[in-house]
Chain A
Amino acid sequence: MSDLNEPILKVEELRTYFDLAEGTVKGVDDVSFSLSENEVIGIVGETGSGKSVTAKSLVGLIDKPGRLAGGRVFFKTPEFPERQKGGYLDLAQLQGDEYTKIRGKHISIIFQDPMTSLDPLYTVADQMTETIMFHQKVDEKEALDIAVKMLDKVGFSNPRERVHQYPFELSGGQRQRVVIAIAISCNPEILIADEPTTALDVTVQAQILELMKDLQAEFKSGLIFITHDLAVIAEMSDRVMVMYGGKTMEYTDVFTIFEKPMHPYTHALLSCIPRMDQKDQVLEPIPGQPPMMLNAPDLCPFLPRCPRKLERCLKELPSLIHADGHYIRCFNPITNGVSHG
């Protein structure tokens, strides 16, 4: 990739498998991407495409029966200098507690439902100062000051009083603002947002998206934005990775994805979303069902629904190839003139 500045995160051939009694589910199977400072990468895909598992794998939140089955997650960080290679630490090699030095401090994650990521029994102040005191050398009073400052940043009016409220006293949008405040409180280099606005109403979603854009621009952090909503992806991302069946299908800049997608799946996905800005639109649904992930064959996961399949697709799995920063996994890509503009 011809990035001007060195990426802060390089994910290479990441694989996360789940060993179940019935067989193996390859939740993430060969995902690669990189993220630079001050860049927003959107990961889009349907249920079960592996986008959340990718996010959790990056921050070491995969629990049994899941396991990291392969790949490297190179992260530029001052932590563990003795274990670094070429200025990068391979997060996939970290064991147990070691992750706590990274998670929350250098890489933060925001989940979909703020009611489950906040503890209902503790005040906002308790939950914020816990994170701040764990990662920074400050006492309780200083931590509270940082918490208040962060709440102010995420748009709370009179944060000094509201910091002592419990989650149930806040609306859904405000709760998500608290989660964002906790996530950015240690000024992380990377923020991962996993469907952060899916549980919110559209007017509140617009507020939160605007807030995240502002904060990202201010802190110049890298943002990995995960959603199933292509419209939100278009709104937020610089580059987009399209996932299907646990694999990266296509990965390039946001304008190319929406105007000249090369992968048949990306193309089909764009043709089947209703658009508010278009009159008398014709939808072209993708026939068939999303793939079964259990003991999936080593073939392109989109094969059963693909209108462009070749003989070759029935025999082998295409690898992720790239030209001019456009990554694609397909033997028969669309190479000319399909526009979704």
Chain B
Amino acid sequence: MGEEKDMNDSGSKVLLEVRDLQKYFPIKSGFLIQKTVAQLKAVDGVSFTIDKGHTFGIVGESGCGKTTIGRTIIRLLNPTGGNIFLEGEDIAILKERSLKQYRQKMQIVFQDPTSSLNPRMTVGQTLSEPLLFHGMVRSKKEVEERMSQLLSSVGLKPYHVDRYPHQFSGGQRQRIAIARAICVDPSLIVLDEPTSALDVSVQAQIIKLLKELQGKLNAGYIFISHNLSVVRYISDRVGIMYLGKMVEKGDTNEIFENPMHPYSKALLAATPIPDPKTRRKRKELLSGQVPSPINRPTGCFFRTRCKYAMPACEKEYPQMVRIAQNHSVSCHLYSLGEPEKIVEK
């Protein structure tokens, strides 16, 4: 399982290592002459690793930066700082031309298949484009073979190849988006809320499909979602985000059974459970709302809503410390733990 100690152990099972990743968006103001007046720090120093064939879940509420992380890792957005090691190569600094060979290794599935599929392209055109672009097929016959194989692997029929997206249901469209992502044999797939637009009965089909495909492809997944139940089901490891920072990360069962950060605890307590017997009388509710990401509090960003806040929390942002084998947390309550080492390559 993903041990952070193994990070510098190259040629290992580590697929992706994200180190101190930053993505800032400038906020501009002014008429005619635009000046940058502030920085929106959407992702602010996030580090984690994913092993081959494993799933890392990223959870958090709206505006915590989870989508930006996914898009920055596959270089749909250019990072402001930090490193992204994909199979040992730092793709954060690569120029567009040299990035091309890595594009094939990294794919993404978006939340809404209606907007991520081109309505004027048939399923066949949608799926053959990446294959041809990356030169993975040579003849027309090969395209057809690959196509029917792809469609059956996502649970669609070969005759669907000439249909347009509007002829499919939401669940089927998401299957097409998944087929498009896996058609180039990627080693990393970013799944950005892939089931949030679907009904629960269809959501279960898609989750099951994703798990099956992972077994076959041995691809690493970054599963981004606000739905904690789905994340628990699909992820091996989980990171919880708040205002651009990862506040806690570790093995899924460890995080869900033994959350340490006050925000993680509140997030888990706020999530309803489909069992009327567990109905809680008076929950520990978080009061207030998430501060503006442009104007974050000093020190720890969560201190304004944290009931354990102490003077130290106002001064500096707590370091990420390891408190158990596969469990790290960034909170002054646990600052006695062993600081997470960042090993320079």
Q: What 0/1 pattern do residues 221 to 241 of B give for CB contact below 8 A with A?
A: 000001111101110000000
B256 partner residues in chain A, CB cutoff 8 A:
276, 279
Determine if A290 and B204 form an interchain contact, defined as CB atoms under 8 angstroms apart. no
| CB < 8 Å neighbour of B201 from A210, A237, A274, A285 | A285
Determine if A289 and B172 form an interchain contact, defined as CB atoms under 8 angstroms apart. yes
Minimum distance in angstroms from A197 CB to a CB of chain B: 10
Please choose the segment from A27-35, A132-140, A198-206 that sits at the chain B interface, where 4 or more of its residues have CB less than 8 A away: A198-206
Q: Which of B172, B228, B229, B282 has the most CB of A within 10 A?
A: B229
**Restricting to B182-211, which residues have a CB under 8 Å from any CB of A?**
199-205, 207-208
Determine if A171 and B277 form an interchain contact, defined as CB atoms under 8 angstroms apart. no
A254 partner residues in chain B, CB cutoff 8 A:
276
| A206-B283 contact given A281-B233, A289-B171, CB 8 Å threshold | yes
A230 in contact (CB, < 8 A): yes
B36 in contact (CB, < 8 A): no
A284 in contact (CB, < 8 A): yes
Q: What 0/1 pattern do residues 254 to 275 of A give for CB contact below 8 A with B?
A: 1100100000000011101111
| A277-B273 contact given A173-B289, A202-B228, A283-B233, CB 8 Å threshold | yes
A242 partner residues in chain B, CB cutoff 8 A:
none
Minimum distance in angstroms from A44 CB to a CB of chain B: 10
Determine if B276 and A234 form an interchain contact, defined as CB atoms under 8 angstroms apart. yes
Q: Which of A202, A209, A229, A281 has the most CB of B within 10 A?
A: A202
Minimum distance in angstroms from B7 CB to a CB of chain A: 27
A272 to B199, CA, bound (A): 11
Minimum distance in angstroms from B285 CB to a CB of chain A: 6
Determine if B270 and A289 form an interchain contact, defined as CB atoms under 8 angstroms apart. no
A203 to B267, CA, bound (A): 6
Determine if B276 and A274 form an interchain contact, defined as CB atoms under 8 angstroms apart. no
| A234-B200 contact given A201-B62, A258-B274, CB 8 Å threshold | no
A269 to B274, CA, bound (A): 11
Determine if B285 and A210 form an interchain contact, defined as CB atoms under 8 angstroms apart. yes
Minimum distance in angstroms from B263 CB to a CB of chain A: 9
| A231-B274 contact given A46-B200, A268-B201, A273-B229, CB 8 Å threshold | yes
Determine if A258 and B201 form an interchain contact, defined as CB atoms under 8 angstroms apart. no
Minimum distance in angstroms from A244 CB to a CB of chain B: 10
A235 in contact (CB, < 8 A): yes
B268 in contact (CB, < 8 A): yes
A276 to B267, CA, bound (A): 12
A224 to B268, CA, bound (A): 26
Determine if B201 and A231 form an interchain contact, defined as CB atoms under 8 angstroms apart. no
Determine if A290 and B226 form an interchain contact, defined as CB atoms under 8 angstroms apart. no
A277 to B234, CA, bound (A): 14
Other than the known A237-B276, A258-B274, A273-B229, what 14 A-B pairs have Cβ atoms closer than 8 Å?
Answer: A46-B199, A46-B200, A202-B267, A203-B266, A203-B267, A203-B270, A210-B282, A230-B274, A231-B229, A272-B204, A274-B229, A283-B207, A286-B205, A287-B205
Q: Which residues of A contact B (CB under 8 A)?
A: 46-47, 171, 173-174, 201-207, 209-210, 228-235, 237, 254-255, 258, 268-270, 272-277, 279, 281, 283-287, 289-290, 340-341
24 residue pairs A–B, Cβ–Cβ below 8 Å? A47-B199, A202-B267, A206-B269, A206-B283, A206-B285, A207-B287, A231-B271, A231-B274, A234-B274, A235-B272, A235-B276, A235-B279, A258-B274, A272-B201, A275-B233, A276-B228, A276-B232, A279-B256, A279-B257, A285-B201, A286-B204, A287-B205, A289-B171, A289-B202
